[in-house]
Every structure is written in C-alpha cells, then in structure tokens.
Amino acid sequence: MARLVFLGRLEDVAGVPHMDCPLAEPTALADLLLMLPTQLAEALQGPRVRIAHNGVVTEAAGLVVGDGDELAFLPPVSGG
Amino acid sequence: MTPDVRLALAPFDPAAELAAFAALHPGAGGIVTFLGQVRAGDGVEALELRHYGPLTLPGMTELAGTVAARWMLDGLLILHRSGEMQPGEPIVLVAAASRHRRDAFAAADFAMDHLKSDSWFWKREKVAGAWRWIEPREQDHADLARWG
C-alpha cells in the first residue's frame, strides 16, 4: 500500500485529499499512474507539478514507489 | 541567533507576538515587521491556506536560516497560518530585529517574497460560496527574482 497525497487544486481533480494505492511489489511511478483515472493521471504529470517521496522533493523520472511510501503531488505554491 | 519559526494552525495575535519579540531583543535599534492579513472586499468570504506537514515547516526553517545568514540580525520571527481564515484575520507575521534598520527592512522583504511564492503553501478563496485555488501571480515571481 502506498499513500498518494494531492495538494492544492490537485485535490479537486482527485476528489479526495489522499488515497491509498495497493501495491503488490515496488512499482514505477509511470505504472502507478496507469492505475489512476486518466484525468487525474494527466493532472499529476503537469509540467509544474513537483513530487515529494516520503517527504523529500524528488524527480519523477525513474521513481519507484514501495510499500508504505507516501507520494505527494505538489502544484505551484502560493502563500503569504 | 536562532530564528523563531512557527506554523500556526489557529488564529494568532500579531500585537502580542510583536510585543514579545521586541521584549526579547532590547539591543536591536530597529524592528521591521510585515503583517499579511486576509483582504476584505472583492466578495471574498474566506481564505484557506493548506500546508504539507513533511515540507512546510522544515522549508520555513530553512528560509529563516538563509535570511539569518544573509543579514546581520539580532532576531527573526516568521509566523504563518494554515487553515481557514476570515477577512481581516492575520495570515503571516514576519519581524526582523537588527542594530541598523537597512538589514531589518531587507530581511523582512526577502522573507516575505519567499513565503509568497517559494514556500510550501497552497491558497484558495471562497467567493459567492464557491472555493477556487489561487496560483502565484507573475508579480510574485518577479519579486522573487529580484534576489538572484
């Protein structure tokens, strides 16, 4: 099981703030995205969306997700 | 100097925070503060800031460290709300104390530019009962670029 977290407008696309994804084995991000609704998968791969893997911002390319991992999808930020 | 960096999940009192900060730094010749609050008008009924636990406060702490290393400060306070706020409520308070005012002005300015468009917050506002997410304005990115 991996937890996907959707920040900002991505929560609206997903319809939920986070979801748990069953994983039989360590799974490439690209394969994990295939398990999601197309519209959500496309939004998560937007050019300005960054990814945090277990709380560390990382590159999407080559990312492998394991059991118990948390993957957060981070659209452009806006604070203050 | 260890910056005071906090993520507030409930309303805070800027005047009380500033009084406490000033009392901690009697040797500072000046304190520059910035208070950001939810703008009333434009039909905005509420504002919500969201954060992501593993990144937001660590990122604010790193920002404070950068500010403290770049300017000569006696003290630095960065306090940022997360959660739902009403018009007029404080969102962010930055205070920089220094011997000379130029350092304090620049430090607070730098901290605010980075909190606006380079920190882990997501903002949405409620207008006519409907929420919509707000992305950074071009001006926010231009402000950030000033610092190189």
| Separation in Å, CA B76 to CA A8, B4, B33 | 29, 6, 10
B92 touches A: beta carbon within 8 Å? yes
B13 to chain A nearest CA, in Å? 16
Long-range contacts from A56-65, C-beta under 8 angstroms, 24+ separation: A56/B54, A57/B55, A60/A29, A62/A28, A63/A28, A63/A29, A64/A26, A64/A27, A64/A28, A64/A29, A65/A2, A65/A23, A65/A26, A65/A27, A65/A28, A65/A29, A65/A32
Taking CA–CA distances from A18, the nearest residue in chain B reads B52
- Provide the pLDDT for residue B41: 86
Q: Does residue B42 register a pLDDT over 90?
A: no
DSSP codes of every residue in A10-70 = HHHHHSSSEEEE--SS-EEHHHHHHTS-HHHHHHHT-TT-EEEETTEEE-STT-EE-TT-E
Contact B135 A7 (CB under 8 A): no
User: In whole numbers, what is the pLDDT of chain B averaged over residues?
Assistant: 95
Contact B55 A57 (CB under 8 A): yes
Q: Does residue B139 register a pLDDT over 90?
A: no
Q: Does residue B141 register a pLDDT over 90?
A: no
Domain boundaries, chain B: 4-145
- pLDDT grade for B101, boundaries at 50, 70 and 90: very high
Q: Does residue B138 register a pLDDT over 90?
A: no
Over residues B110-130, the mean pLDDT reads: 95
- pTM here is 0.94
Over residues B32-56, the mean pLDDT reads: 95
Contact B117 A5 (CB under 8 A): no
In a domain, residue A40? The reply is yes
Averaged pLDDT in 10-residue chunks for chain A of 80 residues: 96 96 94 95 95 96 96 93
- Total domains in chain A come to 1
Nearest CB among A57, A75, A79 relative to B115 is that of: A79
Domain B4-145 has CATH 3.40.50.1100: no
Interface predicted TM-score (ipTM): 0.94
Residues B128 and B43: beta-carbon distance below 8 Å: yes
In a domain, residue A80? The reply is no
Q: How far apart are CA B34 and CA B26, in angstroms?
A: 19
Q: Does residue B76 register a pLDDT over 90?
A: yes
Parent domain of A19? 2-74
In a domain, residue A79? The reply is no
